Amino acid sequence: MRASTIKAIATAAFTAMAATAVATVASAADMAPRYTKAPPPIVEIWTWDKFYIGVNGGYSWGRSDTSGTFYNNVTGVQLSPTQSGNINLDGWVFGGQIGKNWQFNNWVVGLEADGQWTNEKGGRNFTCVTGPVGGACSTITGGPLAGVAPTTTFDQEISWFATFRPRVGALVTPSALLYVTGGLAVAGIKTNGVISGFTAGQLPTSVAWSSDQTKWGWVIGAGLEARLGGNWTGKIEGLYMDYGSVSGSPALITSAPQLRFDYSSKVTDVVLRAGVNYHFGGPVVAKY
């Protein structure tokens, strides 16, 4: 075979091998994994700057510092010494709240209003002291009713209350708020009882009396609120309220002498409650 023919065959073979190698490398390159830059992570940042609404429940230790005195309803003469004492008005509370917060870095200020139903109640009896054979409180001087003292029952309750308060707090973590609060408080205070005595004819007589008063006062307290998840937070809160005084002068005009019972009660309340709030609006979204 000629040398030129052999050279041509060798050149063709080499060209074919080179083309195959190039195709193989290109195919391998196409099969290699391709990497793209990952998108920036999205981070949710909780903010307290929202409106919210919620419910709460707890227990209350109310106190009524009460004094009562019996008088002759006709002459105004005091018939027996003034009697004083503390009446416990303890009971459960349940209600709801609504409010708005504004956040300034690690500080949060807000306004909140709440309304509560309660079953706080208590009572005692008051006695118009009389002698064994009659006296200033009773004209009966003989028989089995001589020396029996007129009395009145005395029952009192805080049937509802509401507060209107600013709140000021600091963040102990981005999702936990420690705050103080104070403002106005208002309550419905019911007082009732039955005065019992005797007529000039030595017959038992009595009258039921009642008073329902709305009293404004003040409130102060503190609490801790923290995010539970999503738009929900939970809180625990303690409040002290002072509603001032309620008073009244029920009378039993069928007794002998006619009786009048003057009372005055200074009412305060201590509340410990827990609750949950739903905050409207989503968290702030940040990309890094």
DSSP states along 155-211:
EEEEEEEEEEEEEEEEEEETTEEEEEEEEEEEEEEEEEEEEEEE-TTS-EEEEEEEE
**For the segment 28-46, what is each residue's pLDDT rounded down to a tens digit?**
445 555 655 656 566 678 8
pLDDT at 214 over 50: yes
Instruction: Quickly state the pLDDT bin for 92 (edges 50, 70, 90).
Output: very high
- Which helix (H) or strand (E) covers residue 14, if one does? helix 3-31
Contact between 71 and 260 under an 8 Å Cβ cutoff? The reply is: yes
pLDDT at 279 over 90: yes
In angstroms, what CA-CA distances link 47 with 50, 171, 226? 8, 11, 12
pLDDT at 24 over 60: no
- Report the alpha-carbon distance of residue 77 to residue 2 in Å, rounded: 156
Instruction: Quickly state the pLDDT bin for 146 (edges 50, 70, 90).
Output: confident
Contacts of 287 (CB under 8 A, 6+ apart): 40, 41, 42, 43
**For the segment 127-138, what is each residue's pLDDT rounded down to a tens digit?**
998 766 667 888
Residue listed under structure tokens 């005009």: 253
Q: Please give the average per-residue pLDDT across 113-142, as a whole number.
A: 86
Amino acid 99: pLDDT: 98
**For the segment 224-255, what is each residue's pLDDT rounded down to a tens digit?**
999 999 999 999 999 999 999 999 999 999 99
Residue 248 in tokens? 């009244």
Least confident of 10-19, 263-272, 276-285: 10-19
In the CATH hierarchy, which top-level class contains the domain 45-287? mainly beta
